[in-house]
Amino acid sequence: MIRIAAAAADSKGGEDLVALDVSEPMPLADGFLLVTGRSERNVAAIADEIEDKLLEAGHKRLRREGRQEARWVLVDFGDLIVHVFHEEERTYYGLERLWKDCPVIPIDLPAATPAE
C-alpha cells in the first residue's frame, strides 16, 4: 500500500515523502505516509491520485478529511493513513516529531527515466 501511495504522490509532485511504522503505539493502523504539496491545488491533486490508485488496487477507503480546504488532507485506508500537507501545516503540526519513536519505512520509488 505504501509503495502504491508513494508512487501516486510522486507522480503528482508530492515532496518530502516519509513513511512511518505506527503499528506498535497505534493498533488501528500499521503505517502513516506523510507527503507535502506546494499549494492547496497540489495537495488536493496528490490526495486524489493516492486515493484513486489505492482504490484501483482494491483497497477500501474508510474516510477522508480536509479535502475541501486542502491544507491537510487525511485519507484513511485502515492499515495505511495518508497525510497530505501544505508545507506550512506540515511544519506547524510536526507529525514526524510526534511519532519520532516509530521506525521509518523505506520508500522505493520507481527510478525516473531521462527524457530523450
Q: pLDDT tier at 108 (50, 70, 90 boundaries)?
A: confident
Going by the DSSP 8-state scheme, the letter that residue 70 receives in this structure is -
C-beta separation of 98 from 82 below 8 A: no
Percent of the chain at pLDDT > 70 equals: 94
Q: What is the value of pTM for the model shown?
A: 0.90
**Does a structural domain hold residue 111?**
no
Q: pLDDT tier at 112 (50, 70, 90 boundaries)?
A: low
pLDDT at 35 over 50: yes
**Does a structural domain hold residue 113?**
no
Alpha-carbon distance of 113 to 106, in angstroms, equals: 21
Reduce the DSSP state of residue 74 to 3 states and report it.
strand
Torsion over CA of 111, 17, 103 and 105, rounded to 10 degrees? -30
**Does a structural domain hold residue 116?**
no
Show the domain range for 56. 2-105
The tally of domains found in the chain comes to: 1
- The bridge status of strand 63-65 relative to strand 31-37 is unpaired
pLDDT in tens, 37-56: 999 999 999 999 999 999 99
Residue 40's CATH number? 3.30.460.10
